Amino acid sequence: MVTLLIGAGLIILGIVVIAHDRRTLLSGLLPFLGLLTWLTGLTPVWLASTLFVIVLPLGILGEVLTHDGYWLLSRYGTSAKGYFFLVGGFLVMVFAPLFPVLWLLWRSVLIVKLMLAIYGYVAVLIDAYLLATVINALPLTIKPTKILILGAGLIKGGVGPVLRRRLLGGLALYQRFPKAELIMSGGQGDDEPEPEAVAMHRFARQKGVPESAIRLETNSTNTATNLSEAKRFINSGDRVVLVTSDYHLLRSLLYARRQGVNCQGLAVHTPHFTFTCFTFTCNAFIRELGAYTIIHRYLIPLGLVLVIILCLI
């Protein structure tokens, strides 16, 4: 009964967070912890099966890292980075199917308990990040007055597949709300012949968007400056929709929240029809997780310390 109440409390708290401002990891973490609390009432076998589902995303990321390590070693020869990805990714991947077995048979052994707790903690963070991303990709509840499209690297001086999808998603939204203004945000990288926003502007004009509906932000160099530089085109009463790739959505919205830009997100789907596309998305997601942990430097070490202390008690 107590676990049911705690789980319900966490889920209700998560709903409150989502209703107030869903642009936070808590929007995914609180409901997820609530469900985990409820699952503790399952029989050991069913709980072990559920735990496998929970750690599965981390196992998939391990498989992708293994593939990356093999690719690096095959293409560039012996390197510390290649072996780190190959060996580290393989260990992370193999541990996922072993997790429920170890939990069922040897969870009382201290070293196994520590390994399970650390691996489980990281897996829960990844699952919470995925859930928060899904929650922030829910249908829009506002009619935008500004549509902010985030840039992506130009390919051979032109709009590449990732940026093209972001533009098409933003332009489709503009067709629904033609009174909104489009903000093209993207500066010029060292390997780019022009700012990304200029190429985005040209793409939009070729699709029939009038010049008067487009604003250009050409100074940004990363996601954080995308938001800080685009703020000059946004008024306090504007209803803003931020358009970017699905794997990039949550971190972009977190930056927007930090910058004081009140907005909702439109996630542009990244295709996964081939293994290469799937690997690209997973690698991009891994980079997003890395960037998120840099923003919240305390999250991993503090959580790991708490997990280890709990195991030792």
Does the pLDDT at position 292 exceed 90?
no
Percent of the chain with pLDDT over 70: 98
Return the pLDDT at 302: 81
The pTM assigned to this predicted structure is: 0.88
Inter-residue contact 26 to 15 (CB < 8 Å) = no
Percent of the chain with pLDDT over 90: 48
Does the pLDDT at position 184 exceed 70?
yes
CA distance 226 to 152: 11
Q: Residue 80's Cα: distance from chain center in Å?
A: 27
Does the pLDDT at position 272 exceed 70?
no
Report the candidate in 87, 63, 86 with the shortest Cα–Cα distance to residue 74.
Answer: 86
Return the pLDDT at 264: 95
Band the pLDDT of 274: cuts 50, 70, 90.
low
Q: What is the mean pLDDT of the chain?
A: 89
Return the pLDDT at 149: 97
Return the pLDDT at 94: 92
Q: What is the mean predicted confidence (pLDDT) over 169-183?
A: 96
